[in-house]
Structure 1
Amino acid sequence: MSVYAAGPPSEQCASCHQQQVDDWKKSDHFHAMEKATVVSSLGEFDGRSIQYLGQPAVFREDEEKKLWVDFVDEQGKTQNLNVIYTFGYQPLQQYIFDAGKGRWQFILFAWDSRTQQEGGQRWFILHPGQSPNDTFHWTQPGQNWNQMCADCHVTDYKKNYDAETQTYQPKFSAINVSCNACHGDNTKHIQWAKGDKSITNKGYDVNIKMRTPLFHKDVDGNMVSVQPLMASKQVDTCASCHARRTQLEDRSNPQDIVNAFMPSLLTADLYQPDGQILDEVYVWGSFMQSKMHEKGVTCSNCHNPHSGK
């Protein structure tokens, strides 16, 4: 298992940035991943079951409060999978088990966390009809946490993959998307906050604030910033997770979108003809070719970066 600092940011952050921390605790980033307990799990592990391959898949809690999923697989083998982490929380929550050699996989069932009125509050099969050779079968790479999902759901993630033994030793500093995931190493910032006058820019070398706080329309109806645009790496920071991309190596900083990753191009299978989102491409590709980006709009001109609202 990996070594990590538990979910909330350090008290050093909260002591000065209480409002931001309060907002963050209500966000999707905070719930990106959590240790699986009866509290963090939205799914009911109370012995209820659903049908899988004609037999019941049972969701239960043992005497030690551990969470389990019992089902019979395609080969007729009984699987007893211990859920170790929850993953996300709305509109569905997924669950991770240890498949050995540091390889963490997702179970094939997810919990619909919507209300009953919306059709939720139930277990369902995430990818029904998958054969053991399909990419998104629960045993295959498409459902592997280490390669597919970890980099954007924990902080300071390192795969530590050994090709010879085909093992992982996953490491991360926080179990969710915490402060350092966007702000980077806060060591110098804390030293600055404690009064170190030799440190400039509040201890951060990269500006991730908005380029300008406000826009207005001029006499011709054009959108104009109320002050000269500042240099900012905010869009790059958000893009490293909020973009369709292929990862080439572990990132070295939160702005590593074009070094550690290969962003997807605006191809017809991923985007609408005018560049708007079609497939699961998130936001960055469309936003980079928008009029808003051209004029200097950044993510936090519209979104609260801590609550995500």
Structure 2
Amino acid sequence: MRKKVLVTGGAGYIGSHVVRQLGTAGYDIIVYDNCSTGSPKSVLYGDLIIGDLADLDHLYLVFAKHEFSAVLHFAASLIVPESIIHPLDYYANNTRNTLNLLRCCHVMGVNQIIFSSTAAVYGEVGENPVSEFTPTMPINPYGRSKLMSEWLIKDYAITSSLRYVILRYFNVAGADSSGKLGQISPKTNHLIRSACDAALKRKPQMQIFGTDFPTPDGTGIRDYIHVEDLATAHLEALLYLEMGGESQILNCGYGQGYSVRQVIERVKAISEVDFPVIETDRRDGDPACVTACADKIHKVLGWQPKYNDLDLIVSTTLAWERQREMVSGTK
């Protein structure tokens, strides 16, 4: 009998890649998504239920109808500048909705959860690379809403049979190399996506937010991870829990940082388009440098990334965006 799992936010960017890998692996999948940033077309396996985690009654009905062995929780708001302008929305959609999900797990006896967290829980770190033992001091509501969700999961696990894997993502980018899946949300402000938009002339220029960070070239440094490697980490985390593994918090990154300028130069080189770049002030809530120490995930899950290459990440993003433009006329 195939195991049935619930994937919240499974119509979104990361969730849809995980759903595809789960489907290929033979899982029975229920995707629960309000499709505010995702698309039903991105759900390649399983059944999609349109719903919001804020609707606790509906969520209970879904749990009651299906016997889930595990929950993979992706549904969230994730734009840092937006979180600063609308913090209450972020605490509602991220923290409160995680609480709703845990209430359903409690009532229905679901005792395995994989939670999509973020390196934003670390904040402005004093050391790099960042390990799971680095103090968590988020500097924006997005990071705080995710850290509070982690606390909810950990506290509930102490008093129940719940076991969890919390995966702290670094900067996720890239797309499925087959061309079936990629980033579709119009609201994303991800650097690589923005640079690709400029290369494809969807916008006249792109911006660098801050050139006075204490980094070698003055721009922020981030650890970029390909979405396919991240999706594989979720499947390995699920297998780990199914085999009886203890609860874990794990960084998901490569341990290699690239500056904003370096990323833009690679997009220009690969696209062969020298688009204009405007330098402007820092955004609130942006740390100078964050890279991952991923030793623990290698040891605990045996995770071995296959796409650890910035050019590959950029190339698959650019290929997806070109295809999306041809199919939908995106400009």
Question: Scaled by the length of structure 2, what TM-score is found?
Answer: 0.26
Question: Computing the radius of gyration over CA atoms, which structure comes out larger, 1 or 2?
Answer: 1
Question: Scaled by the length of structure 1, what TM-score is found?
Answer: 0.27
Q: Highest relative contact order (Cα 8 Å, sep 6+), 1 or 2?
A: 2
